[in-house]
Homo-oligomer: A and B are copies of this chain.
Amino acid sequence: MSGSAARAVVIHAPHDLRIDSMPVAAPGPGEVRVKIERGGICGSDLHYYHEGGFGTVRVREPMVLGHEIAGTIEALGPGVTGLAKGQTVAVNPSVNCGQCRFCQAGMPIHCLEMRFYGSAMRFPHVQGGFREAIVCRAEQAVPVAAGAGAEIAAFAEPLAVCLHAIRQAEHVAGARVLVTGCGPIGALTVLAARHAGARQIVVTDVTDAAVAMALKIGADHAFNTAAKADALLPYEKEKGQFDIAFEASGHPAALAGAIAATRPGGRIVQIGVSGTVPIPLNVIVAKEIELKGTFRFYSEFAWAVDLLGSGAINVKPLLTATLPFEQAVDAFKLASDRSKAMKVQLAF
């Protein structure tokens, strides 16, 4: 960053990702300026890069990407207390209005005026965090324990997503758990479920690399269902053996497999997003399965920062590579290759 300008990673159109420069304001009252050091590339960033959006959401103006960001506080606005220059912080990319009926009902995730970094759902788009510096509300900047660097803190956002999923599952302690899909979110869900006391964790994916990663980070069993479609068959015994399934792929076959292997009265937490998919409604009914969507996070962000800072959850095995942000296109290409990459970060 030079003077009061910062360079940023900006999507203009599919496959048109540029490094643009933009002004950085001084932090106002209650705000801080954070020097961004690491930014993790998320699946939605990849969708913007490859397809210009997902579902009905389209990039309609240049938008800074990125919402998995961490860095160092470099300036405090008037009235900010409890933070100090030089602290390493994870930046919560989610800003709710606090006033709407969902905010007042304790459901800020569903805020009617939610502003989420690097999202084209609203217009003008909410600009993202892949930039050399950002000004945000003080409460968005959550300090991580000394010694944990920005590359660890930048996992706070996706880990928070998974901790929120764990909360939706409600009874993970002692449960037999299935995780379908072991990309970054599936893998972090494995770590989070283990942390929450899952008794058994079985993972499926369609790549050998993901299966190997699942075992490396502590899954009890992991299967490549592309190679062996009926790998979960033994778990379908007696109407199903899993108490809880986390569906992190968004693929119909994975969801159908989870439905078949979950016991009557069990719960499937749907994390993976996709469009309209076929599901065996008759099995949902006959086994009284609960299929529950989980979306983003709220109070789990600070919890994630705690767990990363203390090392209670170790995400280092998931970090495939870190590239200078000037090489964002290469980084996005690498992140798109599931046989090689789990999480790819940009360095600022």
Q: Is A66 an interface residue (CB 8 A)?
A: no
Residue of B nearest to A247 (CB): B281
A274 & B282 in contact (Cβ 8 Å cutoff): yes
A284 in contact with B274 given A112-B238, A173-B196 (CB within 8 Å): no
A293 & B286 in contact (Cβ 8 Å cutoff): yes
Of B173, B197, B295, which is within 8 A of A285 by CB? B295
Q: Which residues of chain B have C-beta atoms less than 8 A from A47's C-beta?
A: none
Copies of this chain held together in the complex:
4
Of B101, B167, B265, which is within 8 A of A173 by CB? B167
Q: Report how far A109 CA is from B265 CA in the complex, Å.
A: 10
Q: Which residues of chain B have C-beta atoms less than 8 A from A277's C-beta?
A: 278-279, 281
Residues 144-175 (chain A) with a chain B CB within 8 angstroms: 163, 166-168, 170-174
Q: Report how far A289 CA is from B273 CA in the complex, Å.
A: 13
Tell me the minimal C-beta distance from A144 to chain B in angstroms. Answer: 15
Q: Is A276 an interface residue (CB 8 A)?
A: yes
A264 & B106 in contact (Cβ 8 Å cutoff): no
Q: Which residues of chain B have C-beta atoms less than 8 A from A265's C-beta?
A: 107, 110
A104 & B98 in contact (Cβ 8 Å cutoff): yes
A108 & B112 in contact (Cβ 8 Å cutoff): no
Q: Which of A166, A167, A286, A294 has the most CB of B within 10 A?
A: A286
Q: Report how far A189 CA is from B161 CA in the complex, Å.
A: 28
A residues lining the B interface (CB < 8 Å): 55, 98-99, 101-110, 112, 163, 166-168, 170-174, 195-197, 199, 238-239, 250, 255, 264-265, 270-295, 299-300, 303, 306
